[in-house]
Amino acid sequence: MAITDLTPGFSDPVRDAAVSFRIILDAMARPGEVKSLPVVAPVPAPLNAAAVCVALSLLDSDTPYWLAPDLRNDRIIGHLSFHTGAPFEPDYKKAQFAFFPVEDLATVMQDLSIGTDEYPDRSATAVALVAGFGATGGVRLTGPGIETANDLSPVGVTPAGWKALERNSILFPLGVDILFAGPESLAAIPRSTRLTELEA
């Protein structure tokens, strides 16, 4: 593949990474709050804007990442390798970041790294791609970062997906932290958040 085939990354890498990180930090610190992306970098399909923001601001040569088969092609692996230097990891159990369609949540969550008792930080971050966030249904969230309760309804989470997230929160302080990446915005459910399913 020629360099000219590559899609550009952030237009102002230092600034764009800083403002993107602040949104991701804010989302993780306030679970269930949907945050608009402050910058949009060119998106190689079928990734989406928030997934690209997360990748360009957090990945580098120290962070093996995994892409679900549906998101995987030479162009995307080339794009992420060129802009971040991060190695593609074919085995998602070994990945520090896993990118996948939200429909795969239940399957992927089973085997992502949850850290160890002494190093709960040695866990994976899940980046679940969603079409957007709905107004009803979803889950009610409580816990650190939430004043009373936040409702979140990422489009496309299956009942088995919610069950996987409930199991994940029981593992605390071990567990996976989830970023829901949309075309214009993102939201997070870290392992510290407790979930109750809402009627759709």
Which positions touch another protein (CB under 8 A)?
Answer: 12-15, 17-19, 21-22, 24-26, 28-30, 57-60, 62-63, 117-121, 123, 125, 143-147, 172-173, 177, 190-192
The count of other CB atoms within 10 Å of the CB of residue 64 is: 18
User: Can you name the residues that pair with 151 across neighbouring β-strands?
Assistant: 140
Name the minimum Å distance from CB 157 to another protein. Answer: 19
Give the whole-angstrom CA distance, residue 144 versus residue 87: 33
DSSP H helices, 3-60, are 13-29, 49-58
Q: In terms of CB distance, is 125 or 153 closer to another protein?
A: 125
Write down the least CB distance from residue 156 to another protein, Å. Answer: 23
Q: In angstroms, give the least distance from the CB of 108 to another protein.
A: 18
Closest separation in Å from C-beta 162 to another protein: 19
CB of 26 to another protein, least distance (A): 8
Nearest to 195 by CA among 138, 139, 122, 117: 139
Residue 129 vs 141, nearer CB to another protein: 141
Q: Which is nearer to another protein, 19 or 155 (CB)?
A: 19
Q: Which of 166, 136, 6 is nearest to 74 (CA)?
A: 6
Considering beta carbons, is residue 4 or 148 the nearer one to another protein?
148
In the bound state with another protein, the residue whose beta carbon lies nearer, of 28 and 80, is 28
Strand 35-36, strand 185-189: pairing: antiparallel
Bond into 120 cis (ω within 30):
no
